[in-house]
Amino acid sequence: MAELDRIRWQCRRGMLELDLVLNRFVERELGGLDPGQLQVFKELLNEQDPMLLAWVMDQEEVPGRYDQLIRRLRQA
């Protein structure tokens, strides 16, 4: 399985809200990420769903390494 296909598969989450946000981001932004941004996105996908959703919904402070990516997720 190609790396981008694996990332798309990881975007399938247990929470519908995350599925919608992540899949929209993947469709619009994934191809434009540079290698460093892609690595951070892969790390982000290893985070727990409730925390990831809280970051996207601006309910929790986002760790610095994810700050720019979460902003892009919110805009996608």
Domain of 43 in residue numbering reads as 3-75
Domain harbouring 7, CATH code: 1.10.150.250
| Residue 2 burial (C-beta neighbours within 10 Å; 0-12, 13-18, 19+) | exposed
Q: Tell me what pLDDT residue 37 has.
A: 94
Q: Tell me what pLDDT residue 38 has.
A: 93
For 63, what's the count of Cα atoms within 13 Å in the CB-facing half-sphere? 8
Number of domains in the chain: 1
Q: Tell me what pLDDT residue 22 has.
A: 95
Chain centre to alpha carbon of residue 70: 7
* pLDDT of 63 strictly over 80: yes
Structure confidence at residue 1 as a pLDDT band (50, 70, 90): low
Residues 6+ apart with CB under 8 A from 38: 7, 30
Q: CA-to-CA distance for 67 and 49, rounded, in angstroms?
A: 17
* pLDDT of 58 strictly over 70: yes
Q: Tell me what pLDDT residue 46 has.
A: 94
